């Protein structure tokens, strides 16, 4: 019940409920530097926005500032999309393992118009750690990261919100090594999704091959790819889950861990004991997460209640008493 107490009851809202009701703070005509400091460098870029690092030198506080430039104020659909992202972020802002939304407002200058989102700054993401350390990081640490991701996604799903872009880059860590989910631009309210969303290598078969699909179940598939990354320090064998990818089709017809993971064993002498003791259990979870049939794909609830998942040691804040099993900060 400890995990389940950290998630709320499902919301009944759908995408159609989101409109221009999002209330941003009053317009700013200059960026509020006294509050959020000055721009230091660009740290991210999306389809329609940029993320910059800002520093308030007086308080030595850092912020991630996401900005969307609107050259045409009549671009209602795009503004609604940004409003929906802010709305979704507000709904889950107090959840476990969710990056904190601090502020959002409109910024108008003489010639330009922006929508600004101020967020907690996180120094790096799990892809950074994956590329730098890989199998050098203890498996127990990697599985702790994975469990934190699942707890964050479980919170979102219990708000009836699907992330739709789960990948290592969108799983950031703070200075203590706590995982925080970011980027809700592709997220949906409700379980119905349309069209391509997320990173192709993490996206489920139905996203690639169907016009309409269950967004919640698509998130489960992405968690399966993340677990391959975290446990095996490897990638899946296929490039995308499309019907023109021969390796994926082979997995579809012969679903096994040998046909799912690119590198099963890298002769990791540092983690032999952990690897051997956990491999069978984790392989079973991976195959349940990567079930082609969405009706047999494991649910987030059943994953939370899985014996292996429950027994996996995880660092997380609980009732304001922080529990730390691993020294993640040495890798941050």
Strands (E) across the chain are located at 25-28, 38-45, 50-56, 61-69, 101-108, 113-120, 124-125, 161-162, 171-173, 179-181, 188-189, 192-194, 212-214, 316-318, 321-323
249, 313: one domain: yes
52, 200: one domain: no
* Res. 78 pLDDT band, cuts 50 70 90: confident
Please give the biggest Cα pair distance in the chain.
63
Taking the C-alpha atoms of residue 282 and residue 284, their distance in angstroms, rounded to an integer, is 5
**pLDDT for 90:** 96
Residue 201 sits at the vertex; the CA angle it makes with 14 and 286, to the nearest 5 degrees, is 85
Q: What is the pLDDT of residues 272-308, one digit of tens each?
A: 888 889 999 999 999 999 999 999 999 999 999 999 9
153, 283: one domain: yes
Catalytic entry in 15, 75, 77, 165: 165
With respect to residue 8, please indicate whether it lies within any of the assigned structural domains.
no
pTM over 0.75: yes
129, 248: one domain: yes
Residue finishing a domain among 120, 155, 187: 120
113, 141: one domain: no
Number of domains, the chain:
2
Res 46 pLDDT > 90: no
Enumerate the known binding-site residues for ATP. Answer: 66
89, 130: one domain: no
256, 276: one domain: yes
Enumerate the known binding-site residues. Answer: 66
Taking the C-alpha atoms of residue 236 and residue 202, their distance in angstroms, rounded to an integer, is 9
> Domain limits at 61?
18-120
3-state secondary structure of 244: coil
> Is the separation of the CB atoms in 216 and 190 below 8 Å?
no
Q: Which two tokens stand for residue 33?
A: 């530097």
250, 216: one domain: yes
Residue finishing a domain among 120, 145, 170: 120
Residue finishing a domain among 120, 152, 169: 120
Known catalytic membership, residue 15: no
């Amino acid at each position: 019940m400890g995990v389940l107490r950290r998630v709320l009851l499902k919301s009944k809202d759908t995408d159609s409920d989101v409109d221009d009701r999002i209330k941003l703070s009053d317009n700013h005509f200059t960026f509020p530097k006294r509050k959020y400091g000055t721009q230091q460098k660009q740290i991210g870029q999306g389809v329609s926005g940029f993320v910059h690092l800002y520093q308030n030198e007086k308080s030595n506080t850092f912020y991630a500032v996401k900005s969307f430039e609107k050259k045409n104020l009549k671009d209602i659909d795009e503004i609604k999309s940004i409003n929906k992202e802010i709305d979704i972020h507000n709904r889950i802002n107090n959840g476990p393992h969710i990056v904190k939304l601090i502020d959002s407002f409109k910024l108008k200058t003489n010639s330009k118009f922006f929508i600004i989102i101020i967020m907690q700054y996180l120094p790096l993401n799990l892809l950074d750690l994956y590329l730098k350390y890989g199998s050098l990081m203890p498996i127990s640490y990697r599985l702790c990261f994975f469990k934190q991701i699942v707890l964050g996604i479980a919170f979102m799903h219990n708000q009836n919100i699907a992330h739709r872009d789960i990948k290592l880059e969108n799983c950031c860590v703070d200075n203590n090594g706590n995982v925080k989910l970011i980027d809700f631009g592709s997220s949906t309210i409700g379980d119905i999704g349309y069209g391509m969303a997320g990173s192709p290598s993490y996206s489920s078969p139905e996203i690639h091959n169907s016009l309409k699909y269950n967004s919640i179940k698509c998130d489960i598939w992405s968690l399966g790819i993340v677990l391959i990354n975290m446990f095996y320090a490897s990638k899946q064998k296929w490039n995308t889950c499309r019907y023109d990818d021969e390796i994926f089709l082979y997995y579809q017809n012969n679903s096994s861990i040998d046909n799912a993971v690119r590198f099963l064993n890298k002769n990791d002498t540092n983690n032999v004991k952990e690897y051997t003791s956990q491999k069978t259990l984790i392989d079973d979870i991976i195959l349940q997460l990567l079930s082609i049939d969405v009706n047999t794909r494991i649910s987030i609830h059943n994953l939370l209640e899985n014996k292996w998942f429950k027994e996996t040691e995880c660092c997380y804040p609980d009732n304001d008493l922080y529990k730390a099993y691993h020294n993640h900060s040495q890798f941050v």
